Amino acid sequence: MIELKIQLDDIDYSGIAELAMPVVKEKLGENGGFFGGLIGNHVPESALNGAFNGFLKFLSPEQRDDIALSLINKYEDKIVKLLQNTASDKGVKITVKSLSANKADKKETL
């Protein structure tokens, strides 16, 4: 077994938001209450992307990282499946045992 450590920097949060928006819309439509259902079922993804990107501009880099960390840890199973499927599509069989994200020490390098 191999443990792989990857540090990410200069993250494209807008791109991540676009990838995550279908899941966000689905969750809002299912259990977001009246307004969540209204938004999830009737607002186009492009409008939600624009609103989210506007929201991101008001956050500090640390706050954006905190949001990304919580999403990575919450959707670990979906990310693992994506990694395994991507490798499989390239002809490589892997089994990802676990995945987690933590804040890295700014001084720490690989």
pLDDT at 25: 67
pLDDT at 108: 57
For the chain, which residues make up each domain, given as ranges? 13-58
Q: Are 101 and 68 in contact (CB under 8 A)?
A: yes
Round to whole Å and give the CA distance between 80 and 73: 11
pLDDT digits (tens, 9 = 90+) for 6-30: 787 888 887 877 777 777 667 666 6
Mean pLDDT in residue range 50-73 = 85
pLDDT digits (tens, 9 = 90+) for 69-90: 888 888 888 888 888 999 999 9
